[in-house]
Amino acid sequence: MKRFLLVLTMLLIGTQIALAGQAAFEQALAPFLLPADTSTRDTYGYQWVDNDNGGPTPYNWIDITTIGTRVIGLADDNNIGPVQLGWNFQYYWYPVSHLWIGSNGYASFSSNTNFAHPFDNIPSTRQPNDLLAVLVGDLDFTIQAHNASCYYYSNNVDTFIISWINVSPFWSAPGVDLTDSTHTFQVILSGRDSSVTFQYGENHGNFAENGNLSDLIGIENVVGRVGLSYLRNNSPAGHLWHNGLAVKFHAVRNPSFNFSDFGVVDVLHEGSGGDFVVLNQPYTVRALMRNFGTQTEDSLIATCVIRKLPGNAIVYNHVDSLGTLNSLEQAWAEFTPDFVPDSLKTYKVTVTSGMPHDGNTTNNTKTGGLYGFTLPQDLKYDDGVAENGRAWNGNFSGFGNEFQPPVPVLLNSASFYVNAVTAAGDGILWVLRDNANGLPDLDNILFSDTVNVAADFTGWKTVDLTGRNLNFQANEKFYIIGIHVTMSTFEFGMDQTATNPLSNRGWEFTGGLAPDRMRDSVNVMIKVNAAVGTVGVNEEIMPKAFSLSQNYPNPFNAQTNIRFSLSKASDVDINIYSITGQLVEKIKGFYPAGDNAVTWDASNKASGIYFYRMNVGNNVEVKKMVLVK
Q: Which pLDDT belongs to residue 555? A: 85
Phi, psi angle pair for 441, to nearest 5°? -90, 85
> pLDDT digit string (tens) for 234-272?
889 889 889 999 999 999 888 888 989 999 999 998 889
Task: Name the burial class of residue 20, with classes exposed (0-12), middle (13-18) and buried (19+) by CB atoms within 10 angstroms of its CB.
Answer: exposed
Distance between CA 405 and CA 30 in Å, rounded? 59
The whole-number average pLDDT for the span 471-482 is 95
How far CA 430 is from CA of 74, 291, 446, 461, 573, in Å, comes to 20, 40, 7, 13, 19
Is the peptide bond between 82 and the residue preceding it cis, with omega within 30 degrees of 0? yes
Phi, psi angle pair for 40, to nearest 5°? -70, 165
**DSSP secondary structure string for all residues of 442-458:** TTSBSEEEEEEE-TT--
Q: Which of 97, 16, 42, 22 is nearest to 328 (CA)?
A: 97
% of the chain surpassing 70 pLDDT: 90
| CB-based contact 249:197 (threshold 8 Å) | yes
% of the chain surpassing 90 pLDDT: 55
Q: Which pLDDT belongs to residue 518? A: 85
pLDDT at 27 over 80: no
> pLDDT digit string (tens) for 499-529?
888 899 999 998 788 888 888 789 999 999 9
How far CA 431 is from CA of 139, 210, 480, 483, in Å, comes to 27, 33, 5, 12
Distance between CA 112 and CA 75 in Å, rounded? 15
Domains identified in the chain and CATH numbers: 69-251 (no CATH), 262-371 (2.60.40.10), 377-532 (2.60.120), 546-627 (2.60.40.2550)
Instruction: Give the global pTM.
Output: 0.72
Work out the pLDDT band at 9, boundaries 50, 70, 90.
Answer: very low
Q: Which of 67, 95, 88 is nearest to 152 (CA)?
A: 67
**Amino acid present at 250:** H
Q: Which pLDDT belongs to residue 17? A: 33
Work out the pLDDT band at 13, boundaries 50, 70, 90.
Answer: very low
Q: What SS3 state is found at 266?
A: strand
Q: Which pLDDT belongs to residue 18? A: 34
Q: Which pLDDT belongs to residue 521? A: 84
Q: Which pLDDT belongs to residue 211? A: 52
Q: Which pLDDT belongs to residue 227? A: 95
Residues paired with residue 564 on neighbouring β-strands, in sequence order: 548, 596
The whole-number average pLDDT for the span 461-474 is 93
**DSSP secondary structure string for all residues of 475-496:** T--EEEEEEESSSSSEEEEEE-
How far CA 60 is from CA of 117, 183, 247, 489, 621, in Å, comes to 30, 17, 11, 48, 48
Q: Which pLDDT belongs to residue 429? A: 95
Task: Give the lowest-confidence range in 71-75, 107-111, 373-377, 539-543.
Answer: 539-543
Between 331 and 558, where is the model more confident? 331
Task: Give the lowest-confidence range in 139-153, 163-177, 331-345, 551-565.
Answer: 163-177
pLDDT at 322 over 50: yes
Phi, psi angle pair for 597, to nearest 5°? -155, 145
pLDDT at 36 over 80: no
Distance between CA 148 and CA 145 in Å, rounded? 8
| CB-based contact 262:290 (threshold 8 Å) | yes
Count of CB atoms within 10 A of residue 358's CB? 18
The whole-number average pLDDT for the span 14-20 is 35
Distance between CA 414 and CA 256 in Å, rounded? 57
Provide the 8-state DSSP code for 549: P
How far is C-alpha 228 from the geometric centre of its chain's CA atoms? 23
Q: Which of 145, 132, 129, 115 is nearest to 217 (CA)?
A: 132
**DSSP secondary structure string for all residues of 145-200:** TT--EEEEEE-SSSEEEEEEEEEEESS--TT--GGG--EEEEEEEETTTTEEEEEE
pLDDT at 15 over 60: no
Work out the pLDDT band at 209, boundaries 50, 70, 90.
Answer: low
How far CA 612 is from CA of 88, 447, 481, 514, 600, in Å, comes to 41, 13, 17, 21, 10
Mean predicted lDDT score pLDDT of the chain: 86
Distance between CA 434 and CA 162 in Å, rounded? 27
Distance between CA 223 and CA 207 in Å, rounded? 27
pLDDT at 544 over 70: no
Highest mean pLDDT among 73-77, 292-296, 535-539: 292-296
pLDDT at 105 over 60: yes
For the stretch 27-59, what's the b/e string if a residue is b when 16 or more beta carbons lie within 10 angstroms of its beta carbon?
eebeebbeebbbbebbebbbbbbbbbeebebee
Q: What SS3 state is found at 402?
A: strand
Distance between CA 613 and CA 266 in Å, rounded? 38
Provide the 8-state DSSP code for 13: H
Q: Which of 298, 365, 306 is nearest to 326 (CA)?
A: 298
Task: Give the lowest-confidence range in 200-209, 303-312, 425-434.
Answer: 200-209
Q: Which pLDDT belongs to residue 75? A: 86
